[in-house]
Structure 1
Amino acid sequence: MDTLSKIKSVLSSDLSAYELEKRTGVTRPSIVNMRKDTYDFSKMSFQIGEKLANYYDEQRESTLVFKDQGAFLSFTSTLDQFMKDTIKEIVPESINDEAMKEVLIRINSEVLKDSYLLEELYTVYKDALRKKQKAQE
Structure 2
Amino acid sequence: MKLRDKVQALLDSDATSYAIAKETGISNSTIVELRHGKRKLSNITLKIAERLGEYYDTHQAK
- TM bin, normalised by shorter chain, reads 0.7 to 0.9
**Identical residues among aligned pairs (%):** 31
Secondary structure of 1:26's partner? coil
User: TM-score, length-normalised on structure 2?
Assistant: 0.83
The runs of 5 or more residues in structure 2 that have no matched partner are: none
1:9 alignment counterpart: 9
Cα distance in 2 for residues equivalent to 1:40 and 1:32: 11
Contact 2:18 2:28 in 1 (8 A): yes
Runs of 4+ aligned structure 1 residues displaced above 3 Å come to: none
Which amino acid in 2 is paired with 1:26?
I
Structure possessing the higher radius of gyration over alpha carbons: 1
Cα distance in 1 for residues equivalent to 2:4 and 2:41: 8
User: TM-score, length-normalised on structure 1?
Assistant: 0.41
Question: What's the RMSD between the two structures over aligned residues?
Answer: 1.5
1:44 alignment counterpart: 44
Q: Please list the CA deviations of residues 30-50 of structure 1 after superposition, one character each: whole Å capped at 9, or x if unmatched.
A: 001111235322210111100
* Number of equivalent positions: 62
Go from structure 1 to structure 2 and tell me whether the alpha carbon gap of 1:16 and 1:59 turns closer, same or farther (over 3 Å shift).
Answer: closer
2:33 alignment counterpart: 33
Q: Please list the CA deviations of residues 48-75 of structure 1 after superposition, one character each: whole Å capped at 9, or x if unmatched.
A: 10000011111223x2xxxxxxxxxxxx
The runs of 5 or more residues in structure 1 that have no matched partner are: 64-137
